[in-house]
């Protein structure tokens, strides 16, 4: 105190605090430096496409070699997280956080449309869906866009918001014959005429936001909600058929296999319920929040968690299939993809974008890490 009087100390302290405040705000806010979402992987043929951060990558699924990336050089305006959709004609359709939709040549990654579709007013977080000659694009601006797949020109666009609750569309729609089923963060599911975009019906408020796509199962649509439930809806009129209460938010879509719906919640509980009536078959706690749909085959239900755990459960009993869970020390929030006896997992971690796990042994390793440009 003898060298720095009380008043000067006061001034210096406040100036110091104010000068570091912007750094603390950005650094502690977690919004500037952290990833906004997780990798979006898709496998088509023998190519794995992954949208993650500054690029969309095409990777040979056998060797793990990068075939191309878009854009070739990083562009700070572009970032991608939604799993790309691949057309029969060899286009990779991907939506970006710049609100744009891009069509890329599946062999080279070169842009195919004359220009990207830029009409959306907010980010493309959900994956586009290719239906015949159209591509359906959900946007966080609350609108669903139908585009011509060859040109990217809009065919129709419709807003979907049932109430004062904001209605960003974060998930891919699904299509059954001529009807689109679309889930919204505004707590509703919509049935929409594919040819016109007109609403056929909407559900009542389901008690919480719906962040992932609906799942079709024998005349029912199953959706997980932030209202801590899995809800079954009649495809004919949108009426609620049954509700299964959970312990936490159901972030991701259930996967139906042999009449059983498998899903997890944000408290880390995995569930198996009968899709027809919602009767519980089993539930078990796994280490870490479950934000992804499981992958399922006749031998196992493969759950991944935010703490990096990969757990294989017996489909009928829920018992562990592997002696020990795989632990990847990465945030696993992307839906795992089963391909040729391996699980491909998009990961949020410093040095690996896609992990591969052998489903027989549970052994794991980094499959793809993008080379620096």
Partner 1 sequence: MWNSLILKPMINALLLIYKLLGTGPNTFGWAIIIFTVLVRLITLPFTYQSMKSSMIMQELQGSKKWKKLQEKYKDDRQKLAEEQMKLYQEKGYNPFSGCLPTLLNLPIILGLYQAIIRTMAATPVQLLDLSKLIYPFTPTSLIPLNSTFFYMNLGQPERLVLPFLNGISFLQGGIPLLAIVVAVTSYFQSKLTTPTTSSDQQGSGMMQMMTIYMPLIMGYLAFTFSSGLAIYLVVSNILGIIQGVVIRRLRENAAAG
DSSP 18-69: HHHHHHHHHHHH-SSSS-SS--EEEEETTEEEEEEBTEEEEEETTT--EEEE
CB closer to partner 1 out of 30 and 45: 30
From the list 68, 73, 41, the residue with the least C-alpha distance to 54 is 73
5 interacts with partner 1 by CB under 8 A: yes
Interface with partner 1 (CB under 8 A), residue total 57
Q: How far is the CB of 184 from partner 1 (least distance, A)?
A: 10
Peptide bond into 147 cis (omega under 30): no
Between residues 64 and 248, which has the closer beta carbon with respect to partner 1?
248
**Residue 346 CB, nearest approach to partner 1 (Å):** 12
Query: Given the complex with partner 1, which of 265 and 325 has the nearer CB atom?
Result: 265
Choices 10-18, 52-60, 110-118, 307-315 (CB under 8 A): range interacting with partner 1:
10-18
User: Is 140 exposed, middle or buried, given 0-12, 13-18 or 19+ CB atoms closer than 10 A?
Assistant: buried
Tokens of 320: 């562990």
Which of 248, 276, 320, 321 is the binder for partner 1 (CB under 8 A)?
248
Taking each continuous run of H as one helix and of E as one strand, the counts in the chain are 1, 31
Separation in Å, CA 239 to CA 37, 67, 202, 220 = 32, 47, 9, 10
Could you say which of 69, 143, 158, 187 contacts partner 1 (CB under 8 A)? 187
One character per residue 286-315, x = contact with partner 1 (rule: CB under 8 A):
---x-x--------------x---------
**Nearer Cβ to partner 1 (6/323):** 6
Spatial contact of 216 and 235, defined as CB atoms under 8 Å apart? yes
Q: By CB under 8 A, tell whether 227 contacts partner 1.
A: yes
Which of 78, 124, 125, 222 lies at the binding interface for partner 1 (CB under 8 A)?
A: 125
Rounded-to-integer distance, Cα 275 and Cα 211, Å:
20
Spatial CA neighbour of 285 closest among 315, 306, 264, 308? 264
Q: Of 73, 76, 114, 164, which lies in the binding site for partner 1, with binding defined by CB under 8 A?
A: 164
CB nearer to partner 1: give 91 or 348.
348
Tokens of 13: 């302290």
Contacts of 372 (CB under 8 A, 6+ apart): none
Least gap, CB of 94 to partner 1 (angstroms)? 16
Helix (H, G, I), strand (E, B) or coil at 358: strand
Cβ closer to partner 1: 23 or 114? 23
Applying CB under 8 A, which part among 68-76, 99-107, 206-214, 322-330 lies near partner 1?
Answer: 206-214
Both structure tokens of 178: 């001529």
**Residues at the interface with partner 1 (CB under 8 A):** 1-3, 5-15, 17-19, 21-22, 24-25, 28-31, 34-38, 81, 123, 125, 140, 164-166, 168, 170, 185, 187, 205, 207-209, 211, 226-228, 248-249, 251, 266, 289, 291, 306, 333
């Amino acid at each position: 105190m003898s060298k720095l009087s009380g008043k000067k100390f006061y001034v210096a302290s406040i100036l110091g605090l104010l000068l570091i405040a912007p750094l603390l705000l950005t650094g502690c806010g977690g919004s500037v430096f952290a990833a906004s979402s997780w990798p979006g992987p898709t496998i088509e043929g023998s190519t794995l496409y992954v949208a993650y951060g500054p690029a969309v990558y095409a990777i040979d699924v056998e060797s793990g070699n990068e075939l191309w990336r878009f854009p070739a050089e990083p562009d700070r305006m572009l970032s991608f997280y939604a799993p790309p959709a691949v057309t029969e004609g060899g286009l990779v359709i991907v939506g970006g956080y710049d609100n744009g939709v891009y069509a890329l040549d599946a062999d080279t990654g070169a842009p195919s449309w004359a220009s990207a579709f830029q009409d959306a007013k907010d980010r493309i977080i959900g994956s586009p869906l290719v239906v015949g000659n159209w591509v359906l694009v959900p946007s966080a601006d609350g609108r669903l866009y139908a585009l011509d797949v060859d040109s990217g020109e809009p065919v129709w666009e419709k807003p979907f918001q049932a109430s004062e609750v904001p209605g960003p569309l974060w998930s891919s729609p699904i299509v059954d014959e001529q009807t689109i089923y679309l889930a919204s963060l505004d707590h509703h599911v919509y049935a929409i005429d594919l040819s016109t975009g007109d609403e056929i019906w909407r559900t009542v408020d389901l008690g919480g936001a719906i962040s992932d796509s609906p799942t079709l199962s024998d005349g029912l649509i199953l959706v997980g909600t932030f209202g801590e439930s899995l809800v079954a809806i009649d495809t004919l009129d949108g009426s609620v058929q049954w509700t299964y209460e959970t312990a936490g938010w159901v972030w991701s879509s259930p996967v139906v296999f042999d009449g059983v719906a498998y899903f997890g919640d944000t408290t880390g509980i995995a569930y198996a319920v009968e899709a027809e009536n919602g009767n519980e078959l089993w539930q078990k706690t796994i280490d870490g929040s479950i934000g992804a749909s499981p992958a399922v085959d006749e031998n196992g239900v493969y759950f991944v968690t935010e703490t990096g755990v990969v757990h294989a459960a017996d489909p009928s009993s829920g018992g562990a299939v592997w002696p020990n869970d795989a632990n990847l020390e990465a945030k696993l929030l992307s839906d795992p993809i089963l391909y040729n006896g391996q699980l491909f997992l998009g990961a949020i971690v410093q040095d690996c974008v896609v992990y591969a796990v052998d489903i027989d042994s549970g052994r794991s390793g980094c499959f793809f890490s993008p080379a620096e440009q």
